[in-house]
Amino acid sequence: MSKSVLLLPGDGIGPEIVAEAEKVLRKVNEQFGLELTFDSALVGGSAIDATGVPLPEETLSSARAADAILLGAVGGPKWDDLEMARRPEKGLLGLRSNLELFANLRPAILYPQLASASSLKPEVVSGLDIVIVRELTGGIYFGQPRGIRELENGERQGYNTYVYSESEIRRIGRVAFETAQQRNKKLCSVDKHNVLEVTVLWREIMDELSKDYPDVELSHMYVDNAAMQLVRAPKQFDVIVTGNMFGDILSDEAAMLTGSIGMLPSASMNAAKQGMYEPCHGSAPDIAGQGIANPLATILSAAMMLRYSLDAEEAAKAIEAAVSKVLDQGLRTADIMSEGNTRVSTAEMGEAVLAAL
């Protein structure tokens, strides 16, 4: 059955890197007979320039209709002075909330070819391959009530509310257990069970869910310990599941273990496995338009898209193998360049992945 992919190149280096990922997707589409169809739309600053808003109605309806979305990046200095509600980033937040993309998957993979990019010792990180599953639409970032209020003594008090309902925990838990099932069957749930009631419930639901996934080994860890373990011995983890705020912090920490932001993909999915896939990095306005951005994070995001939303595991694996092969060949964009390797442009990197396929 044919499936549709919506391309949202966005701003900055977005169009350059999405163009390379599109070529790769079209290639595996042919090779594996996937019957994918492609469409594209405006989001972020480029949408503001063309229509006045960061998420035009037309883009939202195309996004709703698509099986999967591949996004480059949004934002840049050109739009920094706009009021909050009209900023390019609102385009992304609008897509996340309208499509109910509650599950954010961020792998942190250190390719052995790039081990020297990490700030940790090679034996601690080489071969690192973990996934953080972060709840994306709930928790303290969205909980009510929230605000800044005045106390009787006249001083101001800021407050936020950390809330999760059972159904919110259960649905992110299921995504995490299923992710672990597809990998090494080890899931670590991160909470603050000793201090926060909401995470007492979180832990209870994770334990309850684990009965449905007897092949997955579930463990629990306090968030402070998890932050420490990630830099001490990150390879002990396979899949980590946690709430919105802890996941925000831990996934950035895990990304830095690999030392190369240009290599890291991400996925945000809803209950129907419809997903938005994008590199972890931003629009990199400092290098936009120069043809030097690393397209591999976007190409690897396309691989995740094939795996999680388009039911095409073999094509996903083929792309990942092709990326590994071009690294073996010593091809490097500027951000991952090191001595003895060959520096290539964005387009040359894309072409090399195509050739390796």
Q: In which region does residue 157 sit, left (phi positive, over 0), alpha (psi from -120 to 50) or beta (all else)? A: beta
d(CA 292, CA 57): 33
d(CA 156, CA 198): 26
**Which of the residues 248, 273, 311, 325 is marked catalytic?**
248
Query: Which entry of ligand ATP, Mg ion, none binds 293, CB below 5 to 8 A by partner kind?
Result: ligand ATP
Rule CB under 6 A: is residue 335 a binding residue for ligand ATP?
Answer: yes
d(CA 248, CA 330): 33
Tell me, residue by residue from 279 to 298, as one string, x for binding to ligand ATP by CB under 6 A and - for no binding: --xxxx-xx-----xx--x-
**Spatial CA neighbour of 46 closest among 77, 85, 11, 9:** 11
Query: Which entry of Mg ion, ligand ATP, none binds 76, CB below 5 to 8 A by partner kind?
Result: none
Nearer to Mg ion, 105 or 261 (CB): 261
Rule CB under 6 A: is residue 15 a binding residue for ligand ATP?
Answer: no
Strand partners for 133: 105, 241
Nearer to Mg ion, 106 or 171 (CB): 106
Binders of Mg ion in range 274-333 (CB under 5 A): 282
Is 252 designated active site?
A: yes
To the nearest whole angstrom, how small is the minimum distance from the Cβ of residue 259 to ligand ATP? Answer: 12
DSSP 325: H
Rule CB under 6 A: is residue 75 a binding residue for ligand ATP?
Answer: yes
Query: Which string of DSSP letters, residue by residue, matches 135-197?
Result: E-S-GGGT-SS-EEEE-TTS-EEEE------HHHHHHHHHHHHHHHHHTTSEEEEEE-TTT-H
Q: Which residue is nearest to ligand ATP (CB)?
A: 282
Rule CB under 6 A: is residue 266 a binding residue for ligand ATP?
Answer: no
* Residue 284 labeled ligand binder: yes
Is 192 designated active site?
A: yes
| Pairing state between β 103-109 and 129-135 | antiparallel
Nearer to ligand ATP, 244 or 274 (CB): 244
Phi (first) and psi of residue 36, to 5 degrees: -80, 145
**Which of the residues 192, 238, 277, 308 is marked catalytic?**
192
Kindly report the number of other CB atoms within 10 A of residue 195's CB atom.
Answer: 11
**Which sequence positions are flagged as catalytic?**
141, 192, 224, 248, 252
Give the footprint of ligand ATP on this chain (CB under 6 A).
Answer: 13, 75, 261-262, 281-284, 286-287, 293-294, 297, 335
Which residues belong to the annotated binding site?
Answer: 76-89, 96, 106, 134, 224, 248, 252, 282-294
